[in-house]
Amino acid sequence: MNKLKYTTAAVAVALLAAACGGATPTPLTVVQTSVVKETQVVKETQVVRQTVQVQVPVTPTPAPGTQVLRWAMEGINEPGTLDPALASDSQVIFATGLLFRGLVQLDAQLRIKPDGAESWTVSQDTKTYTFKLRKGLKFSDGTDVTADDFVFAITRSLDPKVGGGNGSYYLSNIQGAADFAAGKSTTLPGVKALDPQTIQITLEQPSAYFLYQLNFITGYILSKQNVTSGGAKWYEKPVGTGPFMLKEWQHNQKLVLVPNPYYWAGPPNQLKELDLIFYGGDQGSTTAYNDYQTGAVDIIGSFGQVPIPSQFVPQVKDLPDFRSAPQFFVRYIGFNNTLKPFNDVKVRQAFARAIDKTQLIKLLGEGSARVQDRILPGGIPGSELPITPLTFDVAAAKKLLADAKFDASQKLVLTYGTEGDNAKVVEFVIQQWKTNLGVNVTAEPLELQTFSQRLTDTYNDPAKGLQMYYSVWGADYPDPQNWLSQQLRTGVGNNNGHYSNATFDKLVDQADVEVKDAAARLKLYNQAEQIAVNEVGWLPLFSPNANAMVKPYVTGLVFTGQGIIVPDWSAVRGLAQ
């Protein structure tokens, strides 16, 4: 599986940086009020909510079905798949989320709301969820959705024969899922169709974040008929319950989507077409920026790991097109804890304390990023609790390296994927280590998909894996479990660097099953996070801002730390044709 996860899931803190909306005809001079920032801060057992409102201009509504929305997908030349069980980067996850949907989804405040399910109940022990499908729910080919389709989709996401891995990470708490995903069982007892409209899911243990995981792509509803009759590349003619259908896949160019007439919430009736245009390679984001300036695309920079190139931000940050939001992304350096010299915690600490992150932020440019000294990005529940960071201290770093009896003659390689500002960041970090530690490190750039595969290889066979790597994590759902338990617990599939600490594991295991006391749960995660920071489970560098540009005629998008949320696709407008 590709471990280079980028995604675009109620959350203790939600950040809304901009919102545009309005589905009814409105004169250009009229102003609509939209919530742009909402935060909840946990103080012991009290939750404090703050709401700030701004005014956003709304453009007149063109005639229905006459517009095209052109969305730049920076960072990829071609999706490897549109199969929800296999998709793993934010661009493809975004595309699959337009074609497919699950039982639940996120609203603009990052709270769970019904989607394919119209309602659900939870047992007293919080381990059994019973969902009722929405009446009249249909796939995009007009066929009825049944509970059996959902059971088929969940089982397939966990099936080792499918060749994925997403399901085993995000659905592993379902009763029997671990054995089924490992090939030790041929049945999945935790998911049942009680009748054509009713689904029952039973968990192994209580989970405060289960509905967020169910919102992820591995929980999307698939048409059993579509998948089983469509061959190996059934997803080239997909049938889903999302707001759009795939009209055309122009390989290495774009995906052309059209409204799904059977979408339960009503089709995106202002749009006649949504084009997702690929911009891969080192200069992909720059090319997208240039195309935006010429009017060839309507949205750029919306995928957090590839925002607007930092050199352009100063000249566009005051334009009405510009959107910026702190996002749930962290850029970090991972170390292979099984290989010398990084199996020594003192070496990892020395490398961490030898980087001046404030200078890195200056290099990236004003408004591009914020220093990150911890695992959790700002806005994720638990990030409001304090952490003692490993501060920049050259003298301390040198002493740590000396205490570790570091061999300066050994070959060191920092590997990264070629996209955006990655080369600039890697060059800066390597120079910091040379200047401050006298250590020589070689940069190894790889095409993004190759880099992703090498991360997978590092997890599967660390002895033959990468020595260290510059990577990114974006939240699959806005919960600390996705950052700590899913990333740094011993043996989990996203723990590419094989970090391991028994106390850390115990703390996150306790936090994962705490469903009654939210404050106690966050304190457990906080203690675990401090251990990972002390031992450099990751070397966090910065949290990038989601710097995007959106044409003034585009409306209906809400920018959040989790990514772009579209509360109502019928309110989304593109360029009138």
> Exposed, middle or buried by CB within 10 Å (0-12, 13-18, 19+), for 541?
buried
How many alpha carbons fall within 13 Å on the CB side of residue 298? 20
Other Cβ atoms less than 10 A from the Cβ of 62: the count is 16
pLDDT at 173: 94
Are 487 and 375 a contacting pair, CB within 8 Å?
Answer: yes
Element (H, E) at 371: strand 369-371
Integer Cα distance of 63 and 520 in angstroms: 53
pLDDT at 496: 96
The 3-state DSSP class for residue 32 equals: strand
Which two structure tokens, joined as six digits, stand for 463?
A: 């002895």
**Max CA separation in the chain (angstroms):** 72
Q: How far is CA 246 from the centre of its chain?
A: 23
Are 338 and 352 a contacting pair, CB within 8 Å?
Answer: no
Are 13 and 41 a contacting pair, CB within 8 Å?
Answer: yes
pLDDT at 89: 81
pLDDT at 221: 98
| CB proximity list for 116: less than 8 A, separation 6 or greater | 101, 102, 103, 104, 133, 134, 137, 145, 150, 221, 241, 264
Are 413 and 421 a contacting pair, CB within 8 Å?
Answer: no
427-445: b or e for each residue (b if 16 or more CB lie within 10 Å)?
ebbbebbeebbebebeebb
Task: List beta partners, residue 33.
Answer: 55
Integer Cα distance of 234 and 237 in angstroms: 6
pLDDT at 32: 28
Written as one string, the DSSP assignment of 472-538 is EEE-SSSSGGGTTHHHHSTT-TT-TT----HHHHHHHHHHHH--S-HHHHHHHHHHHHHHHHHTTSS
Is the torsion defined by CA of 179, 180, 185, 190 positive or negative? positive
pLDDT at 164: 66
- Residue 308: closest CA among 331, 291, 332: 291
- Residue 555: closest CA among 14, 16, 62: 62
- Distances from the Cα of 261 to the Cαs of 136, 137, 342, 574, in angstroms? 13, 12, 55, 18
Integer Cα distance of 373 and 366 in angstroms: 19
The 3-state DSSP class for residue 398 equals: helix
Give the Cα-Cα-Cα angle 304, 307, 312 (nearest 5 degrees). 160
Are 285 and 420 a contacting pair, CB within 8 Å?
Answer: yes
pLDDT at 449: 81
pTM of the model: 0.79
pLDDT at 64: 65
Which two structure tokens, joined as six digits, stand for 1?
A: 């599986």
| CB proximity list for 146: less than 8 A, separation 6 or greater | 133, 193, 196, 197
Domains of the chain, residue spans: 329-544
Task: List beta partners, residue 244.
Answer: 259
| CB proximity list for 233: less than 8 A, separation 6 or greater | none
Are 478 and 14 a contacting pair, CB within 8 Å?
Answer: yes
Q: Which CATH class is domain 329-544?
A: alpha beta
pLDDT at 248: 98
The position carrying tokens 């001079």 is 29
Rg of the chain (C-alpha set):
23
- Distances from the Cα of 39 to the Cαs of 47, 128, 325, 380, in angstroms? 10, 30, 14, 11
Sheet containing strand 117-122, strands side by side? 117-122, 128-133, 198-202, 191-195
Which two structure tokens, joined as six digits, stand for 574?
A: 């593109």
How many alpha carbons fall within 13 Å on the CB side of residue 277? 20
Q: Is the peptide bond before 267 cis (omega within 30 degrees of 0)?
A: no
- Residue 356: closest CA among 397, 386, 385: 397
Tens-digit pLDDT profile for residues 334-364 = 999 999 999 999 999 999 999 999 999 999 8
Residues of the chain with pLDDT under 50: 1-61
